[in-house]
A and B are shown apart, each in its own frame.
Chain A
């Protein structure tokens, strides 16, 4: 019985596809955390030019559909401008382009989550930091951001979960992740509901523990005032 129900799985590299999804998520998460933090720093900075750039970036990027961004990385960056990000074969090029697009997009949301965290840090904290002679980058990196991060673990978990699911958009430029495999299986097999359920379950397996773990972290690192 069991064999006959899951027969259609034969010949498909399900784990391999989800592994690509995990890789897309991890690289994009790290990248967007770094770039998003820099953007938040710009938006909090006393230099008007940096504030303007940060605000402009966030407001433009978060309002463009992710699909448009991902497709642009392939059609615009690679095929028109010849940006291949140091890779030779199409698979690697597309993977890297997808990561770039996901970082560009997700960092706008990371920035805004962090900025709301910065707003929870009382102004007296940065005044006291400035008063002992810390420079602006030191005030931000030693006092304000560490407290801001602790207060936005929850919102950042949301961003990470959204990012995990958004990696499916990389299918638009042919990255061999879970959604690409799902499309292929739907075309070739008859068990449509089962296939959909399987992939849905796969994503829940990735995101549910993330949410639970970060929820625990959020309570653990909260700053007491």
Chain B
């Protein structure tokens, strides 16, 4: 399927494979009751691109992130991943979700399974790998995110490192794109950097990432593009440099003045 050129309004984008659209949202709308949380969202994410979505609370950024793997169903519009439109509920949707990694604000590690089992489950049940192969890969991933020694603990026994385990669990599926829904918002301050470092490394390795976050440092250093949302709309969409030094909209200026100057 031909990627839709002209949908994205990015300027000065340095992302690789400029025409290689991986995630395409077209005219997406979503309501929660009377609240219009996503309004005519058009967004294209290219292979290897790191897109950071920022904006005030209630601006729809988490909903946008969750809509991409259909944890939130949309009311109208189209979402396609790697050229395939998002299927409705069922096996096809499950297969597509396996290709889309998701990291949640509240980790959501499987509470009745050990760290290792958390990382092997999807490989065994969805990717149909044998147990040994899945465990080897899980241990390698846990080492990559720096929680090797915790493999046999249960999530409730971890003091820190949950989010890195959650990242390893998502990576174990060998996803085409990773979605991060405020991955550091529920962390102790000293844990935030560990998680951000793992994410930085992922970005350097060329992973396609959509990151909803309040970490402006991460947006500056790792993002190819910043998407600023407010009241359910994409207000601004540009490079991090441009956004942080020269925001065009008043809404973005206001937002930045609140979070950067105090």
The 8 A CB mask of B124-137 against A (1 = contact, 0 = none) is: 01100000000000
Is B233 engaged at the interface, CB distance under 8 Å to the other chain? no
In contact, B109 and A128 (Cβ under 8 angstroms): yes
Find B122's partner among A133, A223, A225 (CB 8 Å cutoff).
Answer: A133
Q: Which residues 140-199 in B have Cβ within 8 Å of A in the complex?
A: 154, 156-157, 166, 169-170, 173
In contact, A125 and B94 (Cβ under 8 angstroms): no
Is B5 engaged at the interface, CB distance under 8 Å to the other chain? no
Chain B contact surface mostly:
mixed
Q: Which residues 83-132 in B have Cβ within 8 Å of A in the complex?
A: 89, 91, 94-102, 104, 106, 108-112, 121-122, 125-126
In contact, B111 and A147 (Cβ under 8 angstroms): yes
In contact, B71 and A131 (Cβ under 8 angstroms): yes
Q: Given contacts A128-B110, A142-B125, A150-B112, are A133 and B156 in contact (CB under 8 A)? A: no
For A138, the closest partner residue in chain B by CB is B125
Is B69 engaged at the interface, CB distance under 8 Å to the other chain? yes
In contact, B110 and A125 (Cβ under 8 angstroms): yes
**Assembled-state Cα–Cα distance A225/B155 (Å):** 8
Is A146 engaged at the interface, CB distance under 8 Å to the other chain? yes
The 8 A CB mask of A103-134 against B (1 = contact, 0 = none) is: 00000000000000000001011011111111
Chain A contact surface mostly:
helix
Is A2 engaged at the interface, CB distance under 8 Å to the other chain? no
**Assembled-state Cα–Cα distance A8/B110 (Å):** 59
Chain A nearest Cβ from B21, distance in angstroms: 22
Is A161 engaged at the interface, CB distance under 8 Å to the other chain? no
In contact, B104 and A132 (Cβ under 8 angstroms): no
Q: Given contacts A130-B71, A142-B125, A146-B112, are A225 and B94 in contact (CB under 8 A)? A: no
Cβ–Cβ < 8 Å partners of A147 in chain B: 111-112
**Assembled-state Cα–Cα distance A74/B111 (Å):** 46
Q: Which residues 131-158 in A have Cβ within 8 Å of B in the complex?
A: 131-136, 138, 142-143, 146-147, 150
Q: Given contacts A138-B125, A224-B154, A225-B156, are A130 and B94 in contact (CB under 8 A)? A: yes
In contact, B71 and A224 (Cβ under 8 angstroms): no
Cβ–Cβ < 8 Å partners of A134 in chain B: 94, 122, 125-126
For A135, the closest partner residue in chain B by CB is B94
Cβ–Cβ < 8 Å partners of A82 in chain B: none
Interface residues on A, range: 20 to 34
Cβ–Cβ < 8 Å partners of B94 in chain A: 130, 133-136
In contact, A142 and B98 (Cβ under 8 angstroms): no
Find B108's partner among A124, A133, A135, A224 (CB 8 Å cutoff).
Answer: A124
Cβ–Cβ < 8 Å partners of B126 in chain A: 132-134
Cβ–Cβ < 8 Å partners of A131 in chain B: 69, 71, 97, 100-102, 104, 170
**Assembled-state Cα–Cα distance A130/B94 (Å):** 7
Cβ–Cβ < 8 Å partners of A46 in chain B: 89
Chain B nearest Cβ from A219, distance in angstroms: 15
Residue with the highest number of chain B CB atoms closer than 10 Å, among A46, A131, A224: A131
In contact, B69 and A143 (Cβ under 8 angstroms): no
In contact, A130 and B97 (Cβ under 8 angstroms): yes
Find A127's partner among B89, B104, B109, B170 (CB 8 Å cutoff).
Answer: B104
Chain A nearest Cβ from B163, distance in angstroms: 12
Q: Given contacts A128-B110, A138-B125, A224-B157, are A133 and B95 in contact (CB under 8 A)? A: yes
**Assembled-state Cα–Cα distance A152/B156 (Å):** 20
**Assembled-state Cα–Cα distance A118/B99 (Å):** 27
**Assembled-state Cα–Cα distance A135/B95 (Å):** 8
**Assembled-state Cα–Cα distance A128/B103 (Å):** 8
Cβ–Cβ < 8 Å partners of B69 in chain A: 131
**Assembled-state Cα–Cα distance A204/B89 (Å):** 49
Chain B nearest Cβ from A50, distance in angstroms: 13
Q: Given contacts A46-B89, A127-B104, A224-B157, are A132 and B112 in contact (CB under 8 A)? A: no
For B98, the closest partner residue in chain A by CB is A133
Chain B nearest Cβ from A176, distance in angstroms: 43
- Seen from chain A, the residues whose Cβ lies within 8 Å of a Cβ on chain B are 46, 122, 124-125, 127-136, 138, 142-143, 146-147, 150, 223-225
